[in-house]
């Protein structure tokens, strides 16, 4: 009897976490590119210091 209780509890926990992950996946919103001033950000360190982060420097930005 003890084994079945633990197995049921574990399977219920797995089903609940799977359902929760699916809900989070569907509720996720897309991030707005350039929101909060990130598009015209001046780089402060590294090779591109004092350059504005735009299409030329950022490879991940799509046109």
Question: For 15-58, what is each residue's pLDDT tens digit?
Answer: 999 999 988 888 877 766 666 666 677 788 888 788 877 766 66
pLDDT of residue 11: 95
Residue 1 binned pLDDT confidence (cut-offs 50, 70, 90)? low
Q: Which two structure tokens, joined as six digits, stand for 9?
A: 């509890």
What are the residues whose beta carbons fall under 8 Å from the beta carbon of 38, sequence distance 6 or more? Answer: 53
Q: Among positive and negative, which fits the CA dihedral 20, 22, 26, 28? A: positive
Residue whose token pair is 């982060």: 53
pTM for the model stands at 0.41
Q: Which residue has the higher pLDDT, 8 or 25?
A: 8
Residue 7: is its pLDDT beyond 80? yes
């Amino acid at each position: 009897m003890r084994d079945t209780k633990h197995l049921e509890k574990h399977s219920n926990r797995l089903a609940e976490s799977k359902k929760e992950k699916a809900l989070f996946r569907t509720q996720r919103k897309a991030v707005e590119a350039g929101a909060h001033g990130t598009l015209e950000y001046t780089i402060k360190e590294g090779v591109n210091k004092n350059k504005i982060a735009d299409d030329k420097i950022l490879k991940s930005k799509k046109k």
